[in-house]
Amino acid sequence: MYFPTYRPRRLRQSENFRRLVRETKVGVDDLIYPLFVVAGSGVKEEISAMPGNFHWSVDQVGEEAKEVEELGIPGVILFGIPEKKDEAGSGAYAEDGVIQQAVRAIKKSTADLLVITDVCLCEYTSHGHCGFVKEGKIVNDLTLELLSKAALSHAEAGADMVAPSDMMDGRVAVIRSTLDENGYQDIPIMAYAAKHASSFYGPFREAAESVPQFGDRKTYQMDSANALEALREVALDIEEGADIVMVKPALPCLDLIYRVKQEFGYPTAAYNVSGEYSMVKAAARQGWIDEKKVILEILTGIKRAGADIILTYHAKEVARWL
């Protein structure tokens, strides 16, 4: 009987063999933890569709960030839900906006945790869109000024990095030049470069109260069927000055993570989004999956595809396990 000389099972026969030849390791170094900041005080309220994640008021978020830092996670990304929303999303660039206050609070309570801010308008606009709306249309170029004001206000508050998530054309260039002109040339930009108009953002929109009041986001976020366009989007953002490029969502886009990393070789982030998180939590609650093993398998898959950085709501629990 013929046997091949190479038997792959030889190196699978014990955990120590498997450890020695393991190609991909997820570590706490890879993780960014998202935090939702709301107006008011004394608020720590669990987000119903995202168990284990909370709305924090500014006076509470510093302590939470400290815990994140103590777990060894390198950074947090902040999302703000303002007290009042308006047409132009003015809470996004208000000096005393929730995010601006939260950045200052976290900087006080932590040593060197990276404070990254999501730059977008949708949580701050009454219509829930990521841009300026005129006659029912999301107007690209009018939005750019508002986004650059938001990014600048985050930098002024002390943010370490800004992350535009709006998908307007040209926003990375405008944000880069605004930061540079104001002395913030050392603040990096992590661009949501290839961001699909995905249905996996549902729980986030509930958490951020940012469901569009009319229409959808398909005129600015990408069609999820497109990969070549995703590469063009990434190329554009790099040309405009992005330091880190992000693919979002993660699980339906593992091919894009792989291609973006291969083609550009830039630090590549993947956003393991709210819907991906909530599905795991829901199935685990039903006892249908082994939660811990599934989460680690998911993050390993995202990393194996090529991600250097994973934004994930699982970050804290994973940091405890590792």
Q: Which stretch binds ligand PBG (CB under 6 A): 20-28, 80-88, 201-209, 291-299?
A: 201-209
Residue number, 181 or 229, with CB nearest to ligand PBG: 229
Distance CA 144, CA 82 (A): 20
Site track 62-101 with ligand PBG (rule: CB under 6 A), x = hit: ----------------------------------------
Rule CB under 6 A: is residue 130 a binding residue for ligand PBG? Answer: yes
Rule CB under 6 A: is residue 165 a binding residue for ligand PBG? Answer: yes
Site track 9-48 with ligand PBG (rule: CB under 6 A), x = hit: ----------------------------------------
> Which of 248, 261, 281, 303 is the catalytic position?
248
| Tokens (6 digits) for 236 | 């554009």
Distance CA 95, CA 155 (A): 11
Rule CB under 6 A: is residue 201 a binding residue for ligand PBG? Answer: yes
| Tokens (6 digits) for 216 | 């959808």
Rule CB under 6 A: is residue 273 a binding residue for ligand PBG? Answer: yes
> Which of 85, 149, 195, 281 is the catalytic position?
195
Among 33, 204, 220, 266, binds ligand PBG (CB under 6 A): 204
Among 120, 150, 269, 295, binds ligand PBG (CB under 6 A): 120
Residue number, 53 or 101, with CB nearest to ligand PBG: 53
Distance CA 313, CA 319 (A): 11
Quickly list H helices, the chain: 15-21, 58-70, 98-109, 140-157, 171-181, 202-207, 228-240, 254-264, 274-285, 291-305, 315-321
Beta strands 244-248 and 190-195 are parallel
Helix (H) or strand (E) holding 163: strand 161-164
Rule CB under 6 A: is residue 303 a binding residue for ligand PBG? Answer: no
Residue number, 66 or 215, with CB nearest to ligand PBG: 215
Distance CA 274, CA 137 (A): 27
| CB under 8 A, 24+ apart: contacts of 36-40 | 36/79, 36/80, 36/81, 36/207, 36/208, 37/61, 37/78, 37/79, 37/80, 37/81, 37/98, 37/99, 37/102, 38/80, 38/81, 38/98, 39/81, 39/82, 39/83, 39/98, 40/83
Among 76, 122, 151, 315, binds ligand PBG (CB under 6 A): 122
Q: Which stretch binds ligand PBG (CB under 6 A): 92-100, 115-123, 140-148, 284-292?
A: 115-123
Rule CB under 6 A: is residue 118 a binding residue for ligand PBG? Answer: yes
Q: Which stretch binds ligand PBG (CB under 6 A): 149-157, 197-205, 227-235, 298-306?
A: 197-205
In the bound state, the residue with its beta carbon closest to ligand PBG is 204
Q: Is 25 a catalytic residue?
A: no
Distance CA 176, CA 41 (A): 34
Tokens 């398998």 -> residue: 297
Residue number, 201 or 266, with CB nearest to ligand PBG: 201
Question: What residue type is 286 in one-letter code?
Answer: Q
Distance CA 66, CA 235 (A): 36
Residue 182 makes CB contacts below 8 A (sequence gap 6+) with 152, 155, 156
Q: Is 195 a catalytic residue?
A: yes
Q: Which stretch binds ligand PBG (CB under 6 A): 10-18, 88-96, 116-124, 233-241?
A: 116-124
Residue number, 30 or 118, with CB nearest to ligand PBG: 118
Residues in the chain: 322
- What residues make contact with ligand PBG under the rule CB under 6 A? 118, 120, 122, 130, 165, 201, 204-205, 217, 273-274
Residues recognised as catalytic: 195, 248
